[in-house]
Amino acid sequence: MMSASQRAANASPVMAAGSAIIWACRRDLLLAMRSRAELALIIVFFVLVISLFPLGVSPDPGLLEQIAPGIAWVAALLASLMSLPRLFALDHGDGSLEQLVLAPASLPALVAGKVLAHWLTNGLPLVLLAPLAGVQFGMQPDAIGALTLGLLLGTPILSWLGAIGAALTLGTRSGSALLALLVLPLAVPVLIFGAGAAESTAAGLGAEAHLSLLGAGLILTWVFGPVVTAAAVRIAYE
């Protein structure tokens, strides 16, 4: 019978990459479940931001319905930024990330698993809360659907942009501030198209163009994101 190492050596590159993604995703999900308070903090932050905006702007229902998509997307972006420094910093601090770099498995695949776990624990809850935000601001059902679908397509892009920024700022002083400066300008198009999808739907123009651009961005980040992030991680150890 073949050993585990022999089976891994004989496995196809696609199967090996898939196994690495699943392993890294499962590992980070287990680690995230040990710090549930931090995950809850991100959700509470998102809810508080979208709840406090009406108090500082205006209680007018028409105005709130118009600005609701922008508020939801800004809150999602800020909530995502809160969790990005932890994406590689903890593994970098305890030496686990170096072991992943030296592991025989594909580093881009391991990075993809970590980013997938980050989105499942930080981005997906925000997508699930989007209908609540829409109802709170009095949005129409079709606009709420466009907002939710836009967040579903856009939040993984934010995770990949954040992963690249987090890898580039590994081991630097004031890494969180540098990370925000790197990610925020790159996230502007995602914010515009995501909020524009819900606004166009509310205006009766349809959201297909905005959602198509978000979908194209999602494909590009999933294709090139693992390679770019893995290269940035390797640079941190050279």
Structure tokens at 45: 């932050």
Q: How many CA atoms lie within 13 A of 214 on its CB side?
A: 29
Q: What is the pLDDT of residues 153-180, one digit of tens each?
A: 999 999 999 999 888 888 777 667 788 8
The DSSP output letter for 24 is: H
Q: What is the pLDDT of residues 95-134, one digit of tens each?
A: 888 888 888 888 899 999 999 999 999 899 999 998 888 8
CA distance 137 to 120: 26
Structure tokens at 2: 């073949």
Count CB-CB contacts under 10 A for residue 89: 18
Structure tokens at 23: 């392993």
CA distance 189 to 203: 20
pTM metric for this prediction? 0.86
Q: Percentage helix, strand, coil, to 5, in the chain?
A: 85, 0, 15
